[in-house]
């Protein structure tokens, strides 16, 4: 199968117009000793029908969460998605366009970016958002790098170990690359102590990065952590699941200087972790150090409202070595899904969705901890839709039995933490009797009851 | 195009007015014109040290950013703080109200500074 | 003011609904603003207090009062300010906004360097398969065998077309691939087990002046400094300049080169250039943005490249999505393999696949989870739809289409380096009558229903118009583009005002970009 439309006659006519004998002649600029003489080692072409069968066969080798209850969160949360999201995003005008460099030919994309920026700012309580970043982990990195540019000369970054292991792993890699120092702060009873931040941060600290709800589901005391951060003269980076902001206070109101994270759960399927959509919000006074695309409203020569990409001199195509970031794209299609998702839920629906998450998670905890031997690992920590259980048998064994005996995908086994972060230093966090479970609006009451029954049978 | 004869110029279109050991720095009319719509300027703070031939700041139009290269070495004594809110003065009075910083000069002036006649020639060639 | 329509501007397939007339492009303001005011409303302006869109799932359990479980300090005081809009109005709003876009599906889109080819729908169909879309990234290997296999097979094909030994599927975009590759190069040079590599002194990456802006920006983010490599008069690496910037070679970490270059030219000395960099102790990185031109015809690994990135959204037809998602996997020679990021996928002899979570010399993690799997699914589907012959046909027809356009246009628009090009070529608007600039040509093309080429890039060509037709366009589309370009060239002479004030057919005219910076309005 080929998507080329040229016929042999077309090719002959075009070669004639060019004055070349053959396509081989057009390839003459490739020096003979660079040419690849053979056939590519790729399997033969498939027709569309064969392709669909082939891909279905491969897909069927997965044990996916759509066929059975699943309680994995750990940075990738599934939520209800209205049918209209798929329908609208399937419009080819959105998905086959590119970066809106020509505003007159891209007002559709640009206006949805401005809507996205607005909604993310309203959620987070910040003043400016960018058009999106690769994913949640790299969004945390970009927020920290932004803070380092704002605090020129400060080369230390303090990180709560409640931050997602992928984000901590990325920060480690990027900081090593830039020669910056990363200092990790331990959790106490599942949360980050403000005193520990105060002790770790000081002169030379550019940023303190925390996550709330954190990787273990615990809601942090953001204002106390931000206060400790500011007392040390650093900037406070808060990573958060935007869906939690249905019920949790906007980090911007609690002292955050940058708010970032992963927005995939809003209207996007998990897709095995990518493509995701990272978001980053900040203050207007810092906008010149913000990375990636930003849309802004202006007018055309006749006073008509127009949206353009603005503050472009920050970016790589103009500033090159001095750019705020090398990023030149955004995860626009994912951000568009999130934008439409937020519009459709709306002001009231978003709060209601949050209450469904909160209520079902608390209901699940109540039922599970009523079982003998099952308890919350951090009973004093408030939580939204995810929580950590102390398990009577190893978490890996719990997950294994859930799948084999009950066809349920369990939770995140904390023993896997060092794997995810890639950090050997995480071995001390790898408690094999801790299980992080997410219960969201996709987990019906029936699913939770099946889970509880399965856990009860597991003694 | 004629540029004030009492100034020294760089090939990168900055000028310096020397009065005693104090140099006032700015960019030429030719540079301001080619940058057109200016949107942002980043200047050093009083007390900062700057070096001849190196950037002391940046100036931006919508789709271009240019380093401001210093004609002299020394310490910044004054910054034209009004520029930030009124960049158009750089276009309207490049050699007057559009000045950027004053510097207490240390050491000798670089040998490659141009006089007005030499800069006139350079700017004229650049315009083609 | 009206103009005639010699080449069918009014049949533009993508329009705002404004500016269409009977056989003439109506360039009057009255028409342009028709429908403008209503069409321009944002979702917030459409918002009515109390209006509901889609209902979320029911509680299902007893309601937990947030006040009872969330402390006052963390509980939200005011609901987040999302819009309030009904489902139908939301459908109309976002449908309407979509019509304000040019896209491949409704317009020729010869955006140089971006490879805006047809995006097959079968790719979209398979990536929506529930057992692919709804696979959770924290699921274990035994639950993810199908996805791991798709990713592994994608990597195998990337190895085959690059002639390189190993692949990392981590990078989420081309620029991310550059960044990851530079970190891998740094780790290789700095390997404490290999002091002979001279890591500490090797800080300099050579970059041709025609390079994309992400190249130098990525170097800065990874702690390298850059040294510019001048192009010669024919747009190729100047070998004297190369010798000069290499110097004694002690500080050279490597070269970042785009081949075919951003001028659409194959680098004739590429083998020699790679040899010189290797002789200096450096590594050669290739920006694979232009792989579309050489699939099956030449392989970077065979001409000396050590590491490269692919843009799957360009070469392998991932839809661009208005800016993303893409993916920028990197392929490396085996000497760099130990330093690739983790996690990686391993193929076992028994046909199973496993995630390798750590590796002693790995640079570590550079993104969340493992890869843009949804992108891999689409690109793998596309690769298999083409097969080995189809992949080669992509390059052949991309090069044919580009040269056809080059030859047909060159009497009207000067082609900067007028030689046989690869998949794209760069023309210039310099010297057009009446001071018409590249941007004017671009804006006027919009009136004729064609997305403009890339303009003002590469930086070494004044008033650049970078044109990449791709292999999927038909001869008729290319012919119409030529006719339109000739018509615009004639307008430059006889009716320059129409060109200078274009576009006239869209919901907006040229926006005031100064105001967007000076009076920023970045939320509604």
In tens, the pLDDT along C452-506 reads: 999 998 888 999 999 999 999 999 999 999 999 999 999 999 999 999 999 999 9
**If 0-12 CB within 10 Å is exposed, 13-18 middle and 19+ buried, where does residue C360 land?**
exposed
Tokens of C3: 């103009």
Q: What tens digit of pLDDT does each residue of C338-374 get?
A: 999 999 999 999 999 999 999 999 999 999 999 999 9
Burial class (CB in 10 A: 0-12, 13-18, 19+), A416: buried
> Domain check: are C165 and C259 in the same one?
yes
| Residue C488, in any domain of the structure | yes
CATH number at C304 reads 3.40.640.10
Instruction: Answer whether residue C383 is part of any domain.
Output: no
A to B CB pairs, distance under 8 Å: 16
CB contact C103 to A (< 8 Å): yes
Which among A308, A250, A310, A324 is positioned nearest to A281, based on CA atoms?
Answer: A250
Q: Are B13 and B33 in contact (CB under 8 A)?
A: no
Residue A299 phi/psi, 5-degree rounding, is -130, 160
The 10s digit of each residue's pLDDT in A328-365 is 789 999 999 999 999 999 999 999 999 999 999 999 99
Question: Could you tell me the end-to-end alpha-carbon distance of chain C, in angstroms, rounded to an integer?
Answer: 34
Are A349 and C55 a contacting pair at CB < 8 A? yes
Q: Is C372 exposed, middle or buried (0-12, 13-18, 19+ CB in 10 A)?
A: buried
Topology of the domain covering A84-338: 3.40.640
Give me A337's structure tokens: 């899904």
Q: B14-19 and C344-347 as β-strands: parallel, antiparallel, unpaired?
A: unpaired
Lowest-confidence pick of A30-44, A206-220, C218-232, C245-259? C218-232
- Asked if A45 reaches chain C (Cβ–Cβ under 8 Å), the answer is yes
Radius of gyration of chain B, Cα coordinates, nearest whole angstrom = 13
Q: What are the percentages of helix, strand and coil residues in chain A, rounded to 5?
A: 45, 15, 40
Task: Count H helices and E strands in chain C, helices first.
Answer: 17, 15
The residue extents of the domains of chain B are 8-107
Query: Sign of the C-alpha dihedral, residues A317, A322, A326, A331?
Result: negative
The yes-or-no verdict on residue C26 having pLDDT over 50 is no
Query: Which residues, 6+ apart, have CB-to-CB distance to A45 below 8 Å?
Result: A1, A2, C384, C385, C386, C387, C388, C389, C390
Q: Does pLDDT of C21 surpass 50?
A: no
Using CA coordinates, name the residue in chain B closest to C459.
B64
Task: Test C514 with B37 for CB contact under 8 angstroms.
Answer: yes
How many angstroms separate the CA atoms of C348 and C359, rounded?
A: 17
CATH topology of domain B8-107: OB fold (Dihydrolipoamide Acetyltransferase, E2P) (2.40.50)
HEC sequence for A136-159: HHHHHHHHHHHHHHHCCCCCEEEE
Residues of C in contact with A250 (CB under 8 A): 76, 80
Q: Does A330 touch chain C (CB under 8 A)?
A: yes
Read off the DSSP letter of residue C57.
Answer: P
Distance between CA C239 and CA C275 in Å, rounded?
12
- CA–CA gap between residue B6 and residue A307 (Å, rounded): 46
pLDDT band of residue A445 (cuts 50, 70, 90) is: very high
| d(C-alpha C289, C-alpha C328), whole Å | 9
Instruction: Please tell me if residue A284 touches chain B, with a CB cutoff of 8 Å.
Output: no
Q: Are residues C32 and C53 in the same domain?
A: no
For residues C480 and C448, give the distance between their C-alpha atoms in angstroms, rounded to a whole number.
10
> Does residue C198 contact residue A301 with C-beta atoms inside 8 Å?
no
Q: Please name every residue paired with C346 in a beta bridge, in sequence order, or none if there are none.
A: C354
* Shared domain check, C338 and C236: yes
Is CATH 3.30.360.10 correct for A346-456? no
Q: What is the pLDDT of residue B60?
A: 87
Distance between CA atoms of residues B8 and C354, nearest Å: 68
Residue of B nearest to C515 (CA): B39
State the smallest CA–CA distance between residue A159 and chain C in angstroms: 16
- Is the pLDDT at C32 greater than 80? The verdict is no
Asked if the model's pLDDT at residue C10 lies above 50, the reply is no
From the list A72, A212, A358, which residue is nearest C139 (CB)? A72
Residue numbers of A between 301 and 320 with CB closer than 8 Å to B: 312-313, 318-319
- Predicted interface score ipTM higher than 0.95: yes
- DSSP class of residue A454? H
Q: List the chains bordering chain C where 3 or more Cβ pairs fall under 8 Å.
A: A, B
- CA-nearest residue to B87 within chain C is C518
Torsion of CA C304, C305, C311, C314, to 10 degrees: -20
Please tell me which of A66-70, A319-323, C254-258 the model is most confident about, judged by mean pLDDT. C254-258
> Is there a single domain that holds both residue C12 and residue C112?
yes
pLDDT digits (tens, 9 = 90+) for A53-62: 999 999 999 9
Judgement on whether residues C198 and C343 belong to the same structural domain of the protein: yes
| Whether A300 contacts C509, CB under 8 Å | yes
Contact at CB, B40 and C517, closer than 8 angstroms: yes
If you write DSSP's letter for every residue of A170-213 in order, what string do you get? Answer: HHHHHHHHHT-EEEEE--BTTB--HHHHHHH--TTEEEEEEESS
Does C196 contact B at CB distance below 8 Å?
no
First to last CA, chain B: 13
A313 contacts in B (CB within 8 Å)?
39-40, 60-65
SS3 B57: strand
Please report all neighbours of A, defined by 3+ CB atom pairs within 8 A.
B, C
Give the angle subtended at the CA of C159 by the CAs of C153 and C163, to the nearest 5°: 160
Looking at the complex, does the CB of residue C28 fall below 8 Å from at least one CB of chain A? no
For A11, residues 6+ apart whose C-beta sits below 8 A from its C-beta are: A23, C397, C400
Query: Chains with 3 or more CB pairs closer than 8 angstroms to B?
Result: A, C
Whole-angstrom CA distances from C185 to A181, B94, C119, C254 are: 21, 46, 33, 8
Residues of C in contact with B37 (CB under 8 A): 514
User: Residues 180 to 239 of A: which have CB under 8 A from any B CB?
Assistant: none
Domain spans, chain A? 84-338, 346-456
* Model confidence at C28: pLDDT above 80: no
Q: Which residues of C touch A108 (CB under 8 A)?
A: 97-101, 322
Binned at pLDDT 50, 70 and 90, residue C39 comes out as: low
- Picking from A104, A121, A322, the nearest residue to C510 by CB comes out as A104
Residue bearing tokens 């694979």: C288
B62 interface with C at CB cutoff 8 Å: yes
* Residue A103 buriedness (CB in 10 A; 0-12 / 13-18 / 19+): buried
Of A63, A104, A298, the CB nearest to C506: A104
Q: What are phi and psi of C483, to 5 degrees?
A: -60, -45
Examine the domain organization and report whether C175 and C95 are in the same domain: no
Name the domain count of chain C: 3
Number of B:C CB contacts under 8 A?
10
Contacts with A318 from chain B: Cβ below 8 Å = 63-65
Residues C362 and C407 in one domain: no
Nearest-CA distance A45 → chain C (Å): 4
Split at pLDDT 50, 70, 90, the class of C13 is very low
CB contact under 8 A, C506 and A421: no
Q: What is the pLDDT averaged over residues A143-168?
A: 96
Distance CA C325, CA A263 (A): 14
**Structural domain range at position C443:** 1-40+104-119+393-505+507-524
3-state class (DSSP) for residue C129: coil
- Choose, out of A346, A368, A414, the residue to mutate when testing the contact with C (most C CBs < 10 Å): A346
Average pLDDT of chain C is: 91
Averaged pLDDT score across all residues of chain A: 96
pLDDT score, position B85: 84
Is A132 within 8 Å of C102 when comparing Cβ atoms? no
Based on the domain organization, do C365 and C425 belong to the same domain? no
**Using the beta-carbon criterion (under 8 Å), do B65 and A318 form an inter-chain contact?**
yes
d(CA A436, CA A410): 9
Domain-located, residue C436: yes
Question: Encoding tokens for residue C413?
Answer: 């628009």
Angle between helices A395-406 and A445-456 (to 10 degrees): 110
Considering only CB atoms, which chain B residues are within 8 Å of C516? 62
Q: What's residue C396's pLDDT?
A: 97
Do C350 and C397 reside in the same domain of the chain?
no
In this structure, the answer to whether residues C169 and C308 fall within a common structural domain is yes
Closest chain B C-alpha to C517 CA, distance in angstroms: 7
Note whether C517 contacts B63, CB cutoff 8 Å.
no
The predicted model gives C100-115 an average pLDDT of 96
- What does the alpha-carbon distance between residue A382 and residue A360 come to, in Å, rounded to a whole number? 14
At C207-221, the pLDDT tens digits run: 998 888 888 989 988
Between chains, do A306 and C508 touch, taking CB under 8 Å as contact? yes
Tokens matching residue C451 = 């997305």
- Cα distance from A421 to chain C (closest Cα, Å)? 7
What is the structure's pLDDT at A313? Answer: 85
Residue A1 has pLDDT above 70, yes or no: no
C412 vs C407: CA distance, rounded Å: 10
Which of A66-70, C102-106, C487-491 has the weakest average pLDDT?
A66-70
What's the count of helices (H) and strands (E) in chain A, helices before strands?
15, 13
- Read off the pLDDT of residues C171-195 as tens digits, 9 standing for 90 and up: 999 999 999 999 999 999 999 999 9
Residue C388 lies in a domain: no
* Cα A193 → chain centroid: 25
Q: Is residue C132 part of a domain?
A: no
3-state secondary structure of C304: coil
Chain B residues touching residue C520 (CB < 8 angstroms): none
| β partners of residue A239 | A211, A260
Q: What pTM was computed for the model?
A: 0.93
Which residues of chain C from 450 to 489 reach within 8 Å of chain A, CB to CB? 451-452, 454, 457, 471-475
| Structure tokens given for A231 | 């007392």
Question: Are residues C508 and A70, on separate chains, in Cβ contact within 8 Å?
Answer: no
Question: Between A and C, how many CB-CB pairs are < 8 A?
Answer: 736
Predicted local confidence at residue C5, as pLDDT: 41
Q: Give the residue-averaged pLDDT of A423-430.
A: 93
Bridge partners for B102 per DSSP: B24, B78
Tokens of C40: 């321009």
- If asked whether residues C8 and C52 sit together in one domain, one would say no
In sequence order, the β-bridge partners of residue A298 are A306
Q: Are A342 and A119 in contact (CB under 8 A)?
A: yes
Query: In chain B, which stretches have pLDDT less than 50?
Result: none
pLDDT tens figures, C43-88 = 999 999 999 999 999 999 999 999 999 999 999 999 999 999 999 9
Q: Tokens 């012919």 identify what position?
A: C479
What average pLDDT does this structure show over A104-126?
97
Whether the predicted pLDDT of C200 surpasses 70: yes
Contact status, residue B67 vs residue B42, Cβ threshold 8 Å: no
Query: What's the pLDDT at C276?
Result: 97
């Amino acid at each position: 199968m080929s998507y080329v439309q040229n016929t042999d006659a077309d090719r002959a006519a075009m070669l004639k117009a060019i004055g070349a004998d053959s396509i081989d002649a057009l390839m003459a600029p490739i020096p003979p000793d660079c040419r690849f003489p053979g056939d590519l080692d790729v399997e033969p072409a498939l027709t569309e029908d064969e392709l669909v069968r082939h891909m279905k066969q491969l897909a069927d080798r997965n044990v996916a969460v759509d066929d059975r209850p699943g309680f994995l969160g750990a940075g990738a949360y599934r939520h209800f998605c209205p049918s209209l999201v798929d329908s609208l995003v399937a419009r080819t005008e959105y998905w086959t366009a590119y970066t809106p460099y020509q505003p007159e030919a891209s007002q559709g994309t640009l206006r949805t970016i401005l809507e996205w920026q607005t909604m993310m700012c309203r959620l987070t309580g910040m003043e400016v958002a960018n058009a999106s970043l690769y994913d949640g982990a790299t969004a945390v990195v970009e927020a920290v790098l932004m803070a380092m540019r704002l605090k020129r000369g400060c080369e230390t970054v303090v990180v709560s170990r409640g931050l997602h292991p992928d984000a901590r792993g990325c920060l480690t890699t990027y900081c090593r690359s830039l020669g910056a120092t990363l200092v990790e702060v331990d959790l106490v009873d599942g949360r980050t102590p403000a005193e520990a931040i105060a002790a770790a941060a000081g002169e030379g600290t550019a940023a303190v990065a925390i996550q709330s709800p954190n990787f273990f589901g615990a809601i942090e005391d953001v204002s106390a952590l931000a206060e400790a951060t500011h007392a040390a003269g650093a900037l406070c980076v808060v990573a958060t699941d935007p869906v939690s902001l249905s019920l949790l206070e906007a980090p911007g109101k609690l002292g955050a200087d940058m708010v970032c994270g992963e927005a995939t759960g809003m209207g996007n399927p998990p897709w095995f972790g990518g493509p995701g959509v990272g978001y980053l919000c900040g203050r207007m006074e810092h906008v010149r150090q913000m990375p990636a695309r930003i849309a802004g409203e202006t007018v055309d020569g006749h006073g008509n409202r127009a949206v353009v990409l603005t503050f472009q001199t920050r970016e790589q195509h103009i500033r090159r070595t001095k750019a705020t970031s090398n990023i030149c794209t955004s995860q626009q299609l994912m951000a568009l899904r999130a934008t439409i998702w937020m519009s459709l839920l709306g002001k009231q629906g978003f709060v209601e969705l949050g209450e469904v998450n909160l209520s079902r998670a608390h209901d699940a905890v109540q039922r599970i901890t009523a079982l003998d031997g099952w308890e919350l690992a951090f009973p004093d920590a408030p939580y939204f839709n995810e929580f950590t259980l102390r398990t009577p048998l190893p978490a890996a064994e719990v997950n294994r039995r859930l799948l084999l005996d009950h066809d349920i995908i369990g939770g995140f086994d904390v023993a896997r933490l060092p794997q995810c972060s890639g950090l050997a230093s995480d071995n001390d966090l790898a408690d094999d009797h801790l299980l992080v479970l997410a219960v969201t609006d996709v987990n019906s009451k029936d699913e939770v009851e099946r889970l509880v029954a399965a856990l009860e049978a597991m003694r | 195009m004629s540029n004030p004869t009492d100034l020294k110029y760089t090939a990168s279109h900055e000028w310096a007015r020397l009065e005693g050991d104090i140099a006032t720095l700015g960019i030429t009319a030719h540079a301001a014109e080619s940058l057109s719509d200016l949107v942002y300027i980043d200047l050093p703070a009083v007390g900062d040290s700057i070096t001849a031939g190196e950037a002391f700041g940046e100036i931006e139009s919508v789709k271009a950013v240019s380093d401001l290269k210093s004609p002299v070495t020394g310490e910044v004594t004054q910054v034209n703080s009004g520029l930030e809110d009124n960049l158009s003065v750089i276009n309207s009075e490049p050699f007057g109200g559009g000045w950027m910083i004053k510097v207490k000069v240390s050491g000798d002036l670089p040998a490659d500074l141009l006089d007005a006649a030499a800069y006139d020639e350079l700017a004229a060639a650049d315009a083609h | 003011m009206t103009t005639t329509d010699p080449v069918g501007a009014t049949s533009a397939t993508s329009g705002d609904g404004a500016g269409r007339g009977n056989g003439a492009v109506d360039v009057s303001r009255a028409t342009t603003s028709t429908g403008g005011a209503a069409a321009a409303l944002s979702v917030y302006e459409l918002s009515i207090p109390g209006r509901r869109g889609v209902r979320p799932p029911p509680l299902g359990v007893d309601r937990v009062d947030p006040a009872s479980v969330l402390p006052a300090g963390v509980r939200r005081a005011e609901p987040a300010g999302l819009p309030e809009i009904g489902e139908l109005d939301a459908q109309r709003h976002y449908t309407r906004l979509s019509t304000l876009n040019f896209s491949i599906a409704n317009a020729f889109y010869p955006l140089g360097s971006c490879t805006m080819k047809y995006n097959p729908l079968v790719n979209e169909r398979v990536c929506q398969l529930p057992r692919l879309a709804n696979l959770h990234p924290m699921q274990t290997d035994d639950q993810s065998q199908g996805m791991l296999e798709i990713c592994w097979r994608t990597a195998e094909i990337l190895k085959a077309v690059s002639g390189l030994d190993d692949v990392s599927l981590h990078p989420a975009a081309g620029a991310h691939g550059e960044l990851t590759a530079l970190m891998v190069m740094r780790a290789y040079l700095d390997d404490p087990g290999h002091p002979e590599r001279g890591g500490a002194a090797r800080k300099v990456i050579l970059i041709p002046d025609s390079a994309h802006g992400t190249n130098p920006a990525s170097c800065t983010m990874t702690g390298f400094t850059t040294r510019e490599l001048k192009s010669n008069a024919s747009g190729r690496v100047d070998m004297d300049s190369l010798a000069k910037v290499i110097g004694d070679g002690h500080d050279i970490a490597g070269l970042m080169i785009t081949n075919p270059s951003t001028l659409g030219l194959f680098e004739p000395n590429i083998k020699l250039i790679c040899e010189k960099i290797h002789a200096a102790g450096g590594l050669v990185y290739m920006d694979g943005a232009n792989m579309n031109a050489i699939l099956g015809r030449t392989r970077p690994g065979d001409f000396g490249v050590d590491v490269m990135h692919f843009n799957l959204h360009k070469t392998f037809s991932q839809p661009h999505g208005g800016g993303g998602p893409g993916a920028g996997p990197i392929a490396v020679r085996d000497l760099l393999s130990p330093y690739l990021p983790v996690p990686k996928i391993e193929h076992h002899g028994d046909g199973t696949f496993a995630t390798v979570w750590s590796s002693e010399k790995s640079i570590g993690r550079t993104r969340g989870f493992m890869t843009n799997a949804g992108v891999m699914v689409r690109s793998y589907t596309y690769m298999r739809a083409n097969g080995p012959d189809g992949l080669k046909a992509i390059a052949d027809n991309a090069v044919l289409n580009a040269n056809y356009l080059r030859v047909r246009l060159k009497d009207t628009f000067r082609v900067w380096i007028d030689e046989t090009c690869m998949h794209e070529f760069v023309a210039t608007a310099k010297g057009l009558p009446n001071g018409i600039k590249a941007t004017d040509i671009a804006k006027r093309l919009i009136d004729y229903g064609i997305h403009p080429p890339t303009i003002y890039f590469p930086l070494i060509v004044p008033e650049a118009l970078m044109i990449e037709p791709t292999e999927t366009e038909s001869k008729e589309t290319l012919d119409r583009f030529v006719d339109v370009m000739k018509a615009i060239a004639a307008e430059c002479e006889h009716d320059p005002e129409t060109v200078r004030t274009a576009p006239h057919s869209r919901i907006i005219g040229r926006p005031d970009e100064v105001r967007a910076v000076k009076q920023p309005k970045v939320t509604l």
